[in-house]
Structure formats: C-alpha cells, structure tokens
Structure 1
Amino acid sequence: MKTLLIDVWKRLTPWSKSADVYANDTDNAYPERMDRLINNSVTAKSAAAIMVQYLIGKGYGAENDNLIINKDKNLKLIDFADDVADDLVKQRGVFIHVNWNALFQVSDFSVIPYEWCRIGKTDSNDYAGKIAICKEWLKPKKTDIQLIDVFNPRKKVIDAQVEKAGGWEHYKGQVLFVNMDTKLLYPLSRIDAVAQDCDSEAHASVYKNRLLRKGFFGNTLVVTRPLVGEGLTDKALLDAESEREQFQKAIKDSLGAENTGGVLCLEMDFAGEKLDDAILIKQIESKIDDKLFDYTETSVRENILVAFNNLPSGLVKTNESSLFGNSGEAIREMKRTYWENTTKERNLLTSVINQLLARSQDFSSLSVEPLKLIEDAAPDNP
C-alpha cells in the first residue's frame, strides 16, 4: 500500500524586497482574498455581520455611543467600535491610527483598512518599528507607501519620533496593530479553514444561475414538418420564409410571456397524416439536482458557521416554527450561548477601546462596557 501525501496550502509571509515589507502571503493579497470570499458567500457575510453585533452588543449607552472621538472624520465611538469589530471578526486583526498631542495624550484615533497595512523591517530583536500603508499592494510604487511608527505610548519614544519627523506639525502619529494570532506575523482570517466552503457556496449559486440563464431549463421544444419546401422559386422561397417566421412567432406568443425559458423550433420529416404526427410540443425539464445542491449547501453552510465561533444556524435563518415555541425560549438560549461563544473577541474589543480612551485628552475618565443583546433570565420567585 502506498501513502498519498497531500500538500496542504499554507499562508506564507515572505519578505518583499520591492516594497520593503513582509508580504501577507506569496502574492501579498491574502487579506483582499479572504474579504472577497466572505462577501461572495451569503452565509459567511451574514455570519460576520451577526458576530460583529455580538461583539458590540446593544452599544455602550446612547450618550457614549454618540461621542465624537475623531473630529476630522466626525467619527462616533460606536462607529469606531463597529470598524474594529468588523476587522477582528473577518481578519482576526486590526490596524488603528493613533494621533498624539504635545501633552502626550491621544488626540484622536480611527481604523485603517486592514487590506492597506503591512509590517515593515524588523531589527536585531525581531521588532518591527514601522507599519507600511498603501491602498494597492499588487504592484505598489514606493512613493505610494507611507511608513508610520508602531504604537508605543512611552513619552521618550513619542518625543524622539516627533523630533525625527521635524516637529508636531509633521508627525504622522502611530499605528496600533492588534493581532489575535500572537505566534504569527499576520493573523489567519476567521474563514481560513473554510475558504473552500465559502468559495463552493458562491460557485454553487453561479452554477445554478448559469443553468437558468443559458441552459435548456424551462425551454419549450416545438418540432414540426419542414415549413419550407425544396425547388421553390426565389419569390416563393421568400414567401415561405415569411410564413415560417410568422408561424414561429405565433407559437411563441401562444405559449405566453411566462415562458421565460424560450422556445426552440425544430423542423424534421414525420411519417403519417395526423396532426399529432405533424407537430410535437415538449417541455424540457430542469437538470438541476435539488437534493444534491441541498446537501452540498447545507454542508458548507454548517462548516462556515462553525468558523464563526459556532454560530447557531437558528440565528442566521430560521424556518422551523418549533424554535418560536415556549415563548421563544429556544431563540433566547441560542443568543445566550452565542454571547458566551464570543466572549474572547468582545473582551478584546472592549479592552482596545478602553485603552485608547484612558490615554485620550477628552475621555480619560471614561470606561465602557457593551450592553447585552439579551437580558438574563429573571430569578425564580421564592
């Protein structure tokens, strides 16, 4: 017996000499690829949106939610939290731009699109002091790459960076990089293990769409005796062709506008003199195997939901009336379970927000905590 060794695809982070950054995969397009796979999969996109909501909960209270934490962008605290949560859910990492003032307080902060950011050179201690930012990493020009210092709140470090930049008016601030895979240079996306399932779901939809749009499904086949005979004069041939077109148009009109599949007209010789022997109308049935697609789609959907911290399928789509029985207790239990399943990510999000608020010039005394999406069950009466 022979053992077949299968090469498992692995995300690599090689050094890119042309851009002076550590590439995120060999083509440096891993974040964009994962984001596209999520957006093309209805299950992954829905699951990501639900998980983001569970990280934020009901917000941090109306007053705190509406606090403007970046005046230049008119960015509210709740919108910043949503941006951070979105990258933590999809990419399992986030890059946050932090600006400081001359009092060494955080003046404002905002999320940089994850796809724009790469890690720069490391020193002898394997420490990367710069984050490279570029909107396009396929073939980047060095003039389009902006280097910003890595987040470090120490006054001596900030002071040295400001002096090197030529003063506060030229200082670009810092970038806080939150990496949920601490052993890796860049985190693996949440869908890394189910990337093929996301792709399969998207392609199943494309396949069915092409069958419906370009296949024979729904077509009506009309077979008749030859409508144009042989040996006709030019004028007689033109008249016969005109009659053929009128006949075929009449057939299509008679089948009605609801016949969206179209009509295929075929002429061939028949034996016999009966009308049934002269014309045949046949509906071409669908070749889509609904049972096969149902099994495949159910399988990939379940795999994708597991990748999003075991998201209960009932929170994504519910067709079972039993789930709403017992005063909706089944749904409430799913919500409570998923609230627990997302504790780690929610705590990380809350910690990042409070860390920045604590160093802020305007909100240093503020500490926030997300409001639960579902209230705890009331205690039993004694």
Structure 2
Amino acid sequence: MKTLLIEVWKRLTPWNKSADVYANDTDNAYPERMDRLINNSVTAKSAATIMVQYLIGKGYGTEVDPLIINKEQNLKLIDFADDVADDLVKQRGVFIHVNWNALYQISDFSVIPFEWCRIGKTDSNDYTGKIAVCKEWLKPKKSDIQLIDVFNPRKKVIDAQVEKAGGWEHYKGQVLFVNMDTKLLYPLSRIDSVAEDCDSEAQASIYKNRLLRKGFFGNTLVVTRPLVGDGLEPGSTALMDAESERERFQQAIKDSLGAQNTGGVLCLEMDFAGEKLEDAILIKQIESKIDDKLFNYTETSVRENILVAFNNLPAGLLKTNEASLFGNSGEAIREMKRTYWENTTKERYLLTAVINGLLERSQDYSTLKIEPLKLINNAETNNTE
C-alpha cells in the first residue's frame, strides 16, 4: 500500500541571514498578507471591528478627563488599548514600545505596527535579546533596521542597556512582545485557517464588479443582414458610401436605444433567410451570467467560516436587520451579546493584564488598575448589563 501525503501549506519562520532576523514566513510578509486579506473581506473587517469593541468595552477615562499615557504623541489610554486590541484580534500578538526614565519607571508606551517587527537572534537558551523594527521587510537595508532591546523591567538589565547605548539620552527603550501562540515564534493570524475564505469573498466581489463593468451584461445585440455588399472595389466611391451608410445606421440604432446604452450596443452582420423585416434584423438583450444562487451559497458559506474564526461571532451582531431578532423585547440580540461577551473573555483579560502590567510600572498611573466590565443581572429591569 502506498500512502499519498498531501502537502498542507504551513507558515514557516526561517532565519534571514541578510537581515539577521527570523522571517515571518518564507517571503517574510505574513503579517502584511493577513492584514490585507482582512481589509479586503467585508466580513473579516467588520468582525474584527466588532471583536475589538468587545475587548475594550466603553473604554477608559472620559472625553473631559482623558488618560494621556504618551505626552509626546498625545496618546490616550483608550487609543492605546484600541491599538493593542486591534493587533490581538487580527494578528493574535502585539509589539509595544516602552520608554523608561532614570527612576526605572515607564515614562510612556505605544504600539509598534505588528508588520514592522521581527525577532532577532536567539542565544543557546532560545532567549531573544533584540526586536528588529523596519517599515519595509521586502528588501530591507541594514541602515533601515532598528534594533531595540526586548522588555525586561529588572534594574540591572536596564542599567546595562543604558550603559551600552551611551547614556539615557541615547537609550531606545524596550519592546514588549505579547504572543498568543506561546509554542510558536510568531503567532498565527486569527484568519490563518480561513485565509482562502477571506480571499474568496473579495474575489467574488471583484468578479461581479468586472462582469458588470466590462462584461456583456446589459448590452444590446443588434443583428442585421450585411450592410456592405460583396464585390465592391477597395477604395471605390461605392464602397465608401456603403460604409458611411453602415456607420449612420449603427449610430441611429444606438441613439434609438438611449444615451445610457451608447457603450452597450453590439452590431453584428450576417446572412438571413427570408424577406420579412423580422428576418432582416434581430435585436436581443444579453442577460446577466451571474448565478445569484451560486454566489449566495458561496458568500454565505465563507461568511460563516470567517465568523467562526473570530471566536464564533454570532451573525446577528454583524447584520441585525431581521425583524425576528428584535422580537420578544430584543431578547435574541441580548443573548447574542451575552454569548459573544463570554466568547471573547480570554482576549479581554489578556488586554487587561497587558495594560495593568504597564500602568503599575508607569510614572503617572502606578496606582491605577483597570478591570474588564462584568455581566450582571439587573433585578429591577431583569436585564443583563
């Protein structure tokens, strides 16, 4: 017996000698590719937006008194939380740049775009000491790659890093890397298993658009007997008169169909049998070739797969225009919200732990601790809040 092995595509993380980093896939473009697939899929993009909102809830601070955690960038805590949640939702990992002051307190922190970051060389204990940051990894130049120490709050470590940098004024700070796939060098994107579905949804939209814009859909086909007879001498007056008559006839056909159809008229000449008018000219409308049933099945199937990838997001939270969902005082919608709140618990607590871990070491908010909202039952209204 022979066993047929089917090669399944796998994201690899090979060592890139030219850049001295571990590549994120063989082309070192995995994060960018996943982000592009999400943005091209209306379902994935909408699902990501909803999931982020379920992680950050109503936010932190108020419009009147916002919590500023990076004065140089005027970055609010809610904006920082949104950036962290966005990367946790899409890439299942996040890189956070942290600056320290001479009192070993965090002076500020902000998210570095996930696609800019790669892991540097590891030692014999598989410890990585540097995170490489570059805006373009396709063909990066050494001069464009910035190496920053990994996050380590120990005073001895910070002192050694500051001394090596040549003083606090030259110190670049550290990078905290949060990886939800602890067994992998880089996390797999949330849509890794449904990447083809995201692409299918995008391609279906492109196909229909091209068919409507450049295909034969909506065109009018006009078939007539030959308007220019055989046997006319090339360049003769008779031939030029016949061709001119053909152009006037075709233009008259287009004008009679309306200005909006000017670019959608196809004129074809061929021999007909018979002497009746209907045997001499045929006008036919070309129907659409879009199979609505097939597209509806395909789009529904890929949409369901994508929603499952986003922690089984209920379809009703993505599209709530069905009257039945609002029946029974909206209990169906409330149940969907309760269910999805529970489905996103892990990510919400991770986001909370990351933020609190930074705040407790910060120079301005060391006493501040945030907690995720809890679902409670309001006895007065009998509603879950």
TM category, shorter: over 0.9
When the two chains are superposed, the root-mean-square deviation of aligned CA atoms in Å is 1.9
C-alpha displacement of 1:103: 0.6
Matched position secondary structure for 1:131: strand
1:195–1:261 distance in 2 versus 1, CA, 3 Å: farther
Q: Which secondary structure state, in structure 2, belongs to the residue aligned with residue 109 of structure 1?
A: strand
Q: 2:217 corresponds to which residue? A: 217
* 1:169-227 CA distance string (max 9 Å, x none): 00000000000011111111000111111111111112222222222222111001122
CA–CA separation in structure 2 for the residues paired with 1:132 and 1:174: 11
Q: Which amino acid counterpart does residue 320 of structure 1 have in structure 2?
A: E
Higher relative contact order structure (alpha carbons within 8 Å, sequence separation ≥ 6): 1
Q: Is the 8 A contact 2:61 2:67 kept in 1?
A: no
Structure 1 alignment gaps of length 5 or more = none
Question: In the alignment, is residue 44 of structure 1 matched against residue 11 of structure 2?
Answer: no
Match 2:276 to one of 249, 252, 274: 274
Residue 341 of structure 1 is aligned with which of 340, 343, 346? 343
Paired AA for residue 252 in structure 1: K
**Which residue number corresponds to residue 252 of structure 1?**
254
Verify the 8 A CA contact 1:58 1:370 in the aligned structure 2: no
Matches within 5 A, 1:295-374: 295-371=297-373
Verify: 1:158 aligned to 2:158, yes or no: yes
The CA deviation at 1:231 is 4.1
Q: Using the alignment, how far apart are the partners of 2:56 and 2:262 within structure 1?
A: 46
In structure 2, distance between residues paired with 1:227 and 1:58? 72
Aligned to 1:126: 126
* Partner Cα separation in structure 1 for residue 57 and residue 263 of structure 2: 47
The residue identity in structure 2 corresponding to 1:264 is L
Match of 1:88 in 2: 88
Is the 2:120–2:128 contact (alpha carbons within 8 Å) kept by the matching residues of 1?
yes
1:314-359: CA deviation from partner (whole Å, max 9, x where unpaired): 1111342101111211111111111110011011111111111111
**Residue 133 of structure 1 contacts residue 146 of structure 1 at CA under 8 Å; is this kept in 2?**
yes
**Distance in 1 of aligned mates of 2:298 and 2:53:** 28
Q: Report the CA distance between 1:252 and its aligned residue.
A: 1.5
SS of 1:62's partner is coil
Tell which deviates more after alignment, 237-246 or 112-121. Answer: 237-246
Three-state SS of the structure 1 residue aligned to 2:229 is: coil
Alignment partners' CA distance in 2, 1:7 and 1:52? 34
Q: Which residue of 2 aligns with 1:12?
A: 12
TM-score by length of 1: 0.95
8 Å Cα contact 1:55/1:342 also seen in 2: yes
Cα displacement string for residues 98-157 of structure 1 (whole angstroms, at most 9, x for unaligned residues): 000011100000000100101111112110011011111111111111100000111111
Distance 2:367 2:323 in 1: 48
Contact preservation (8 Å) 2:255, 2:262 = no
Aligned AA for 1:143? S
1:97 corresponds to which residue?
A: 97
Partner of 1:205: 205
- For structure 2, list consecutive stretches of 5 or more residues without a partner in the other structure: none
Which letter maps to 1:268? M
Are the equivalent residues in 2 in contact too, given 1:15–1:21 (CA < 8 A)?
Answer: yes
Q: Matches of 1:381 and 1:313 in 2, distance apart?
A: 27
Shift of 1:246: 1.9
**Contact 1:270 1:277 (8 Å CA) reproduced:** yes
2:106 is aligned to 106
Distance 1:335 1:301 in 2: 19
Structure 1, residues 255-285: CA drift from partner, whole Å, max 9, x if none?
2244487111011122222111111001111
Instruction: String of CA shifts for 1:155-176, please: whole Å, max 9, x gaps.
Output: 1111111011100000000000
Percent of residue pairs identical: 88
Q: Is the 1:61–1:371 contact (alpha carbons within 8 Å) kept by the matching residues of 2?
A: no
Matched pairs, number: 380
Residue range with higher mean Cα deviation, 74-83 or 237-246:
237-246
Q: Mean alpha-carbon deviation: is it higher for 327-336 or for 300-309?
A: 327-336
In the superposition, relative to structure 1, how do residues 56 and 381 fare at CA in structure 2: closer, same or farther (>3 Å)?
Answer: closer
Aligned partners of 2:178, 2:263: CA distance in 1, in Å? 52
Counterparts of 1:246 and 1:360, CA distance in 2: 80
